[in-house]
Amino acid sequence: MPKREHEIYFTLEEVNALVPQLESHLQHFWSFRQNAQNILEEIQRARKKNLNPMPDEIAHIQLRQSQAHFLIEQGNKELEAVMELGGVIKDHDLGLVDFPHMQDFEEQEVYLCWKYGEKKVRFWHRIDEGYNSRKPVLKRVHH
């Protein structure tokens, strides 16, 4: 028997039950990241506009930097929450999350592959493959 990559495996039903949580965590991540990016762009514009800022302007920039840092930390917590659910984040921009699954009939480890926007898991791929190798669940994975 080949070496096992994961200790915990998910059924199709288990991953499908997690989809609402996955959607929520990714939406929050993207929102935190966008808000942080907006603040950082604001800071950059302020610095270009005023090369010799006054103390109150420096304080405002420092406050905004702290806010951006906080938002980035919150976004990272959302990604950590996805991982705590058992997901392996493959691409946080696409919202691509894999879940380890053991095919009973072949005792082969594969990933159940979910992408943001999909209401349920419809694809799988081998552990050593990626998104471009996704195959329809019904043809291969038994649950």
The 10s digit of each residue's pLDDT in 37-67 is 999 999 999 888 888 888 999 999 999 999 9
Look up residue 42 and give its amino acid.
Answer: E
Contact (CB, 8 A) for 112 and 21: no
Helix or strand (DSSP H, E) at 90: strand 88-91
Contact (CB, 8 A) for 114 and 99: yes
| CA–CA separation, 143 and 140 (whole Å) | 10
The 10s digit of each residue's pLDDT in 104-115 is 766 789 999 999
The 10s digit of each residue's pLDDT in 63-94 is 999 999 999 999 999 999 999 999 999 999 99
| CA–CA separation, 40 and 30 (whole Å) | 15
